[in-house]
Amino acid sequence: MPPVLKIILQRLALGLLTLFIVSIVIFTAVNMLPGDFAQAILGQSATPEAIAAIRRDLGLDQPPVTRYFVWLGDMLQGNLGVSYAQLNFQSNMGGANLKTVADQIAPRFGNTMFLAGVTAAIAVPFAVTLGVLAALYRNSVFDKAVNISTLTSISSPEFFLAYILILFLAVLNPILPAISNVYQGIAFQDRLMATLLPALTLTLVVTAHMMRMTRAAIINLLASPYIEMARLKGVSPLRVIVKHALPNALAPIINVVALNLAYLITGVVVVEVVFVYPGIGQLFVDAVKNRDIPVVQACCLIFAGAYILLNLAADVLSILTNPRLRHPK
C-alpha cells in the first residue's frame, strides 16, 4: 500500500473513532440538560401519570445506554428522528404533517454553508494577502499596524464586533441591513446583501489566525538557502515571497485555513443569533431553549462531523503538499 494512502486511511479511521467518542459525549451532555420536555409540554400542573405517559411514548423512560444505541442506529441509517416541538405541534393541531429533524436542518444548514462560503471568499484572500505583505514589510509600521488591528479584532467578543458593524454600516450609514432576512426563494443578490454583515463580522474574527500563520510561515522560510540564492540573482522581494516562499509554506497555511473554515461552520451560533440569521446555529439555540433533544443532538453531531471532516481535509492536504510526508523514510 502506498505510504500516502496508508496515512490517509489512518487519519480517516482516527476521525471515525473521534466522531464515535464525540457522539457519546453529545448524548450524555444533552441528556444532562436541566428541565424535562414532558413537563414543559404539560405545564407545572401536570400529573405524574401524564408526564410518565409522554416519557413512555417518546422512549425517555428507557435506560440511557439503550436510548443511545437506538439513537446511534437511527443516525447510521440517516434517520434523525422527529423533533419534540413538532410532536407538540401535532398534538395541538390534531394531526398536522410532521417535518423530520432532517427536513428542519437541511435549509438551515444550507444557509450556514452559504454564510461560511461568503466569509471564506472574503477572509482567506484578505488574510493571505495581509500575511504576505506583513512578511514583506516585517517590523515596519504596516506590519505592526496589521498585527495590532487583527489581534484587537480576535480579542473582541463576536457580539461586540457585530454590534459595532451594525452601528457603523446599518445605523449611522445604512449600507447593509442589520437583520439578515433570508427566506426560501430569495434572489441571489438579495441573499448576498443580507449575508454580508454577518460575513464581515466572522471575517474580523478569523482573519488574525490566518494572517499571522501566513506571515510566520513565510518569515521562517526567508532564511533558507534557495531564498538567499534567489535574492543573489536579483529577484525582487515580492517575487521571492510569492513564487518561492509561499508555495513551500502552504502546509501550515492550509492547516490554519481549514481550522478557521471549521470554525465558520461550528462557531457561527453567536453571530447568527445577533443577526437573526436563519442558520443551523439559530436552530440549535432555539432547540436548546425548548429542550428539543433530537434537534440538539443532530445539530451537535453535524457541528462535530464538520469540524472533524475539515481537520481531516487539512491533514490530507498537508500530506499532499509536503514531500517529506509523501515520501517518509
Q: Is residue 259 part of a domain?
A: yes
How many domains in the chain? 1
Q: What share of the chain has pLDDT > 70, as a percent?
A: 89
Q: Is residue 317 part of a domain?
A: no
Mean pLDDT of the chain: 82
- Using the predicted structure, report yes or no on whether residue 322 has a pLDDT greater than 70: no
Long-range CB pairs of 297-302 (<8 Å, 24+ gap) are: 297/26, 297/27, 297/30, 297/71, 298/80, 298/81, 298/101, 298/102, 298/105, 299/105, 300/26, 300/29, 300/30, 301/19, 301/22, 301/23, 301/26, 301/75, 302/105, 302/109
Q: Is residue 96 part of a domain?
A: no
CB 130 within 8 A of CB 142: no
Give the mean pLDDT of 270-291.
87
Q: Which residues in 84-101 are b (16+ Cβ under 10 Å) and which e?
A: bbbbbeeeeeeeeeeebb
d(Cα 284, Cα 292) in Å, to the nearest integer? 9
Coil vs helix vs strand at 185: coil
Q: What is the pLDDT of residues 209-254, one digit of tens each?
A: 889 888 888 888 877 888 888 888 888 888 888 787 777 777 778 8
Question: Please, what is the angle between helix 3-31 and helix 293-320, to 10°?
Answer: 160
Q: How confident is the model at residue 201 (pLDDT cuts 50, 70, 90)?
A: very high
- Using the predicted structure, report yes or no on whether residue 170 has a pLDDT greater than 70: yes
Q: What angle do CA 238, 241, 244 make, to 5 degrees?
A: 125
Q: How many residues does the chain have?
A: 329
Give the mean pLDDT of 165-177.
90
Q: How confident is the model at residue 31 (pLDDT cuts 50, 70, 90)?
A: confident
- Using the predicted structure, report yes or no on whether residue 94 has a pLDDT greater than 80: no
pLDDT at residue number 138:
85
Q: What is the pLDDT of residues 113-155, one digit of tens each?
A: 999 999 999 999 999 899 888 888 888 899 899 988 888 888 8
Coil vs helix vs strand at 223: coil
Q: Is residue 194 part of a domain?
A: yes
More confident residue, 50 or 133: 133
Is the alpha carbon torsion for 102, 306, 207, 268 positive or negative?
positive
Is the pTM of the predicted complex or chain greater than 0.85? no
- Using the predicted structure, report yes or no on whether residue 198 has a pLDDT greater than 90: yes
Q: What is the pLDDT of residues 51-81, one digit of tens each?
A: 788 778 777 778 888 888 888 888 888 888 7
pLDDT at residue number 93:
46
Q: Is residue 26 part of a domain?
A: no
Q: Give the residue from 160, 148, 166, 103 showing the smallest Cα distance to 298.
A: 103
Q: Residue 258: give the domain boundaries.
A: 107-223+249-290
- Using the predicted structure, report yes or no on whether residue 168 has a pLDDT greater than 80: yes
The cell for 228 is 538567499
d(Cα 256, Cα 20) in Å, to the nearest integer? 25
Q: What is the pLDDT of residues 297-312, one digit of tens each?
A: 888 888 888 888 888 8
Q: Is residue 120 part of a domain?
A: yes
Q: What is the pLDDT of residues 105-115, one digit of tens each?
A: 888 988 999 99
d(Cα 263, Cα 307) in Å, to the nearest integer? 7
**Residue 87 to residues 82, 95, 97, 126, 156: CA-CA distances in angstroms?**
7, 9, 10, 46, 40
Coil vs helix vs strand at 249: coil
Q: Is residue 218 part of a domain?
A: yes
Q: Is residue 144 part of a domain?
A: yes
